[in-house]
Amino acid sequence: MIRLREHLQELAEAAARDGRTAGPTAAVHRGRQRRRRLAGGTAALLAAVLVAGAVGAENLGPGGRDLAPASPSTRPRFPAKLATYTPNGSAEAAVRRLLTDRSEGLGACKGGRPGDERIIAVGPLPGRQGVWMLAARPPLPTEQGLCWMFAYGNQRNLGAPLAYLGQPPPLTSLLAMASGDSSKIIVEGYVTKQAARIRLIRGGGKPPLDLEALQSGSEFPVNFFVAVVPWRGPWRDPKEPSPVERLIALHGSGQPITSCRLDGGHPSCGGQR
């Protein structure tokens, strides 16, 4: 008797029992080595951006540039200067590998034309910690999802380059995710092209911050945004209020279009990949 489910289950149990892996410490070590290899591409990117003068060196000084507190009369100052940049030349092969990696990079995302990866923007991390990069592939007219990824790092390390694996979910008017460490919080995502600004509502009674959407061009159905907020303290301390609680997409007139929550509340900003 060949019972498909039953025998698949039996094989799975046998593999779980007999299989031998090198363990979590070895996985972490291997992951670090891989990050270092990929970080070479980030270094090339940083060098190219600096040479092009697209990101002023003053923006890489200690502390970096904070976001401006939101007010109707204040023009957001961040991202201060941004580059649209296409990697070329052998020195930047690592950036291309990062973008086109078929197992976890944009190459793993199903959508758009293969090989049509675009770097939407590159910007500095505060305190000379390196650069961030946002890349995407223009969707085909019939597609409802969008393949995009965000990475940040420096010559030694690369953090959190995550693309959708498989088919991306249908586009929404506002999507975001957040990560961070003891020195910074990074919030990135995309927003409807109707929005001129994105307001970050912070926890602990701190004033909100506004940032401009990054113009992605006519081939993309949405614009993107990235906020790098200098931060002191642990990331996601359960005893403390969430550093960024909520996002609001705003028209140029200041009227809200939509909002979502990053603190676990509803509606979620839904950035998981």
Partner 1 sequence: MASDEGFEAFYAGTVGRLLGQLLPVTGDLHEAEEVVQEAFARASAHWPRLRDYDVPEAWVRRVALNLATDRSRALRRQARALLRLGPPPQVPAASAEAVALLAALRALPMRQRQAIVLHYLVDLPIEEVARTLGIRPGAVKSLLARGRRALADRLSDAEEVLNSP
Q: Which residues bind partner 1 (CB under 8 A)?
A: 1-5, 7-28, 30-32, 34-35, 102-104, 108-110, 153, 157-162, 165-167, 177, 179, 181, 235-236, 272-273
The amino acid occupying position 257 is: I
Q: Are 91 and 85 in contact (CB under 8 A)?
A: no
Q: Are 67 and 78 in contact (CB under 8 A)?
A: yes
- Least distance (Å) from partner 1 to the CB of residue 257? 26
- Least distance (Å) from partner 1 to the CB of residue 156? 9
Using the minimum distance from each CB to partner 1, give the nearer residue, 33 or 88.
Answer: 33
Burial of residue 259 (CB within 10 Å: 0-12, 13-18, 19+) is middle
DSSP string for 155-217: SS-EEEEEE--BSPPBP-SEEEEEEE-SSEEEEEEEEETT-SEEEEEESTTPPPEEEEPBP--
Gap between the Cα atoms of 224 and 177, Å rounded: 12
Taking the mean position of all CA atoms in its chain, how far away is CA 245? 18
- Least distance (Å) from partner 1 to the CB of residue 186? 10
Gap between the Cα atoms of 177 and 164, Å rounded: 13
Q: Which residues contact 71 (CB under 8 A, 6 or more apart)?
A: none
Using the minimum distance from each CB to partner 1, give the nearer residue, 208 or 270.
Answer: 270
Using the minimum distance from each CB to partner 1, give the nearer residue, 75 or 232.
Answer: 232
- Least distance (Å) from partner 1 to the CB of residue 123? 17
Using the minimum distance from each CB to partner 1, give the nearer residue, 86 or 167.
Answer: 167
Using the minimum distance from each CB to partner 1, give the nearer residue, 108 or 244.
Answer: 108
Q: Are 258 and 269 in contact (CB under 8 A)?
A: no
Using the minimum distance from each CB to partner 1, give the nearer residue, 84 or 179.
Answer: 179
Using the minimum distance from each CB to partner 1, give the nearer residue, 64 or 159.
Answer: 159
- Look at residue 245 and give its three-state secondary structure: strand
- Least distance (Å) from partner 1 to the CB of residue 99? 15
- Least distance (Å) from partner 1 to the CB of residue 125? 10
- Least distance (Å) from partner 1 to the CB of residue 44? 18
